[in-house]
């Protein structure tokens, strides 16, 4: 047998789930899509003594378009969101990022909430949520609370969720009307984890950029909002020179760590180049959303 022994429970309601998490605390691990957790268990890098399988909670599997925000249930499969017309209409940045997340076999099981809660430093969804300034709902024994993306991602594989809390919903703000967007990443092979990824939203008004949003993944312990570059872009007229300028600012602002896959210098360089490219592509899409 690959994983170490564990006790298995499959609660039938969110309340029961929260109660079980309260009972078992840090010994318990929530199993959603299992595409990150089960490999860790198979390699015995993770040895949770209790698995709380939330796959029997269909109430957490939904995509609901709201005014200005897309509400996605934690258990919604990545592939479902990727192919959803609602996601395409309201949040094409999310769809484009999902297309590069692992492989279809992974996305058929992997969940939106699971990827957010796992908080891998090179995950696409964390950067998408950060770029859009979204938030999540979590439920614990004391009730529900909302955590903004900026407060959610603490460091490598760590969020501000407590051990007894269940992430129930992820809210992705819809793109502003007429905004352009782009998701770009560099990976060694199609479907691999991104070495660097960047999500961009450009909102136009009367020939200038009214607002730019840029978030990167793979360049730090948590997704990075490129605040300085965003300020640089606001109020300026789009131009090739401006994209280069923004790329340079992003490159200078980052302090990524190196690993076996890429050196810090390489990551910084790629982050700058991708940011310029993504801004250029986002501009070509201005006006495509309604």
Q: Dihedral (C-alpha) 77, 81, 85, 89: value to the nearest 10 degrees? A: 160
Q: Select 53 or 211, whichever has its Cβ closest to another protein.
A: 53
Q: ∠ CA(41), CA(114), CA(19), 5° rounding?
A: 85
Measured CA to CA, the distance from residue 10 to residue 136 in angstroms comes to: 23
Asked whether position 35 contacts another protein by CB under 8 A, the answer is yes
Least Cβ distance, residue 140 to another protein (angstroms):
25
| DSSP assigned state of 4 | P
Least Cβ distance, residue 143 to another protein (angstroms):
29
Binding mask 66-85 for another protein (x = CB under 8 A): -------------x------
Asked whether position 105 contacts another protein by CB under 8 A, the answer is yes
DSSP string, 127-179: HHHHHHT-EEEEEETTEEEEEEHHHHEEETTEES--TT-EEEEEEEEPPPTT-
DSSP string, 212-231: EEEEEESSSSS-EE-HHHHH
Binding mask 8-27 for another protein (x = CB under 8 A): x-------------------
Asked whether position 200 contacts another protein by CB under 8 A, the answer is no
Least Cβ distance, residue 205 to another protein (angstroms):
25
Q: Residues 38, 88, 157, 163: which binds another protein (CB under 8 A)?
A: 38
Q: Of 201-260, which residues contact another protein (CB under 8 A)? A: none
Q: Residues 5, 67, 143, 241: which binds another protein (CB under 8 A)?
A: 5
Q: Select 140 or 191, whichever has its Cβ closest to another protein.
A: 191
Asked whether position 55 contacts another protein by CB under 8 A, the answer is yes
Q: What are the Cα distances from residue 186, in Å, to 31, 34, 60, 101, 197?
A: 29, 25, 32, 12, 6
Q: Which of 97, 91, 63 is nearest to 77 (CA)?
A: 63
Asked whether position 4 contacts another protein by CB under 8 A, the answer is yes
Count Cβ neighbours within 10 Å for each residue of 250-288 and write b for 16 or more, e otherwise: bbebbebeeeeebeeeebbbbbbbbbbbbbbbbbebbee
Q: Residues 190, 241, 260, 290: which binds another protein (CB under 8 A)?
A: 190
Q: Of 144-183, which residues contact another protein (CB under 8 A)? A: none
Measured CA to CA, the distance from residue 150 to residue 128 in angstroms comes to: 12
Q: Residues 16, 23, 34, 210: which binds another protein (CB under 8 A)?
A: 34
- Which region, judged by CB under 8 A, interacts with another protein, from 15-23, 135-143, 187-195, 258-266? 187-195
3-class DSSP state of 206:
coil
Q: Residues 46, 106, 147, 157: which binds another protein (CB under 8 A)?
A: 106
Asked whether position 108 contacts another protein by CB under 8 A, the answer is yes
3-class DSSP state of 19:
helix
Q: What is the CA radius of gyration of the chain?
A: 19
Q: Residues 12, 59, 64, 103: which binds another protein (CB under 8 A)?
A: 103
Query: CB count, 10 Å around CB of 6?
Result: 17
Binding site for another protein (CB under 8 A): 1-8, 34-35, 38-39, 41-43, 51, 53, 55, 79, 102-106, 108-109, 184, 189-191, 277, 281, 284
């Amino acid at each position: 047998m690959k994983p170490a022994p564990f006790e298995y429970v499959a609660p039938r309601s969110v309340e029961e789930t929260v109660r079980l998490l309260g009972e078992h605390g840090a010994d318990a691990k929530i199993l959603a899509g299992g595409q990150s957790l089960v490999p860790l268990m198979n390699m015995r890098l993770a040895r949770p003594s209790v698995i709380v399988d939330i796959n029997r909670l269909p109430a957490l599997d939904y995509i609901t378009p709201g005014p200005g925000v897309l509400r996605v249930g934690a258990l919604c499969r990545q592939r479902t969101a990727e192919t959803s017309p609602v996601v395409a209409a309201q949040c094409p940045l999310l769809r484009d990022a999902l297309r590069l997340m692992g492989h279809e076999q992974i996305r058929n099981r992997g969940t939106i909430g699971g990827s957010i809660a796992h908080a891998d430093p090179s995950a696409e969804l964390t950067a998408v949520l950060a770029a859009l300034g979204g938030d999540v709902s979590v439920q614990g024994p004391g009730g529900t609370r909302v955590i903004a993306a900026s407060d959610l991602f603490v460091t490598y594989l760590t969020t501000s969720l407590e051990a007894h809390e269940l992430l129930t919903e992820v809210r992705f703000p819809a793109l502003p009307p007429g905004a352009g967007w782009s998701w770009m990443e560099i990976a060694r092979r199609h479907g691999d984890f991104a070495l660097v990824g960047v999500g961009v939203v450009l909102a136009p008004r009367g020939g200038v950029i009214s607002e730019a949003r840029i978030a990167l993944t793979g360049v730090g312990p948590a997704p990075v909002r490129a605040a300085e570059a965003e300020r640089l872009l606001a109020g300026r007229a789009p131009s090739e020179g401006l994209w280069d300028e923004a790329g340079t600012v992003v490159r200078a602002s980052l302090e990524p760590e190196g690993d076996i896959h890429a050196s810090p210098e390489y990551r910084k360089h790629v982050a700058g180049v991708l940011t310029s490219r993504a801004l250029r592509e986002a501009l070509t899409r201005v006006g495509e959303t309604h």
